[in-house]
Amino acid sequence: MAAGITEAPSGQLFRTTRAETITICRSDHSERRDSRVDHQSVEPDDARIIQRVLSGEVNAFELLLEKYRGMVFGIVLKHVPHESAEDVAQDVFVRAFQSLGGYASRSSFRHWLATLAVRSCYDFWRNRTKNREVPLSSLTEEGQKWLDEALAPQSREAFLEHTARQEGKGVLRYALDRLSAEDRMVVSLIHLDELTVREAAKMLGWGVVKTKVRAHRARREMHRIILEMMERGSKQP
């Protein structure tokens, strides 16, 4: 599960995977549907480690850190800029440590931690949009060109090759930067990660109706931003 980890001499290399958040959510749902799966997904090691940490053996927390950092980075890297990923991932584990006493072992620790990770990402964007100390990214000429090329008729292979280019990341960042923290998280989880409304609501700690309404508005806003980018491109000589 530790999203494509490769050892590197100076640290550890993670590859973000789209499936990370989805797998966490879906596995949680299947746990409830099938008691056999539930039995298999119970991780007695986690329970033992948590017990040790709660009884004062703080160093045992490193075992959880080691075991789940790949999963946490897999989620965090999908939602926050890479330069902030380490800080947000650290925040996730610190929060986990602080709330460990309140963790109810009804849900799996993995899912509980994934929810904390998504909420930490949401808090990151809430703080950033509140402070606005970081300037919004701008749409570069290369990004504009990438947009024009994405609209041109092309084969599936050419389309996939096109989306692999770095300029696409810049365009996506530009569009997401223009959304509020709430809209951004909803667009990322529901429209980009393709979670269901119920799954996203659970991750964010919102009601299903609120999430549904927000998802609808956020998508409309995203369409407006895309249209704005397209029109800007057509105005350029």
Partner 1 sequence: MNSHKGPIRKIEEALKAVHRRGEDFLVSASWNEKVMRAVRSIAVQPAVSRFDPAGYGRLVWRFSAATCLIALALAAYAVTSDLSTASSVTTLFFEDPIGVDLVHSLGIG
> Could you tell me which of 41, 59, 39 has the C-alpha nearest to residue 49?
59
Interface with partner 1, residue 196, by CB under 8 A: no
What are the CA-CA distances from residue 110 to residues 24, 123, 162, 221 (Å)?
7, 20, 35, 33
Q: Which of 75, 85, 118, 197 binds partner 1 (CB under 8 A)?
A: 85
Report residue 109 as tokens.
Answer: 């620790």
| Biggest alpha carbon–alpha carbon distance for the chain | 68
Q: Which stretch binds partner 1 (CB under 8 A): 73-81, 109-117, 126-134, 196-204?
A: 73-81
Interface with partner 1, residue 158, by CB under 8 A: no
Residues 6+ apart with CB under 8 A from 51: none
CA 130 to chain centre: 20
Q: Which is nearer to partner 1, 42 or 63 (CB)?
A: 63
> Could you tell me which of 206, 205, 177, 201 has the C-alpha nearest to residue 189?
201
> Could you tell me which of 72, 97, 102 has the C-alpha nearest to residue 87?
72
CB of 229 to partner 1, least distance (A): 8
Q: Which is nearer to partner 1, 34 or 160 (CB)?
A: 160
CB of 37 to partner 1, least distance (A): 26
Q: Which of 134, 158, 160, 213 binds partner 1 (CB under 8 A)?
A: 160
Interface with partner 1, residue 35, by CB under 8 A: no
Q: Which is nearer to partner 1, 31 or 93 (CB)?
A: 93
CA 151 to chain centre: 27
* Interface mask toward partner 1 for 91-120; x: CB under 8 A: --xx--xx----------------------
Report residue 148 as tokens.
Answer: 């024009």
CA–CA gap between residue 237 and residue 140 (Å, rounded): 15
Secondary structure class of 223 (helix, strand, coil) = helix
Q: Which of 10, 131, 155, 236 binds partner 1 (CB under 8 A)?
A: 10
CA 32 to chain centre: 23
Interface with partner 1, residue 66, by CB under 8 A: yes
* List of residues contacting partner 1 (CB under 8 A): 3-4, 8, 10-18, 58-59, 61-62, 65-66, 69, 73, 77-78, 82, 85-86, 89-90, 93-94, 97-98, 147, 150-151, 159-160, 162-164, 168-169, 171-172, 175, 188, 191-193, 222-224, 226-227, 229-230
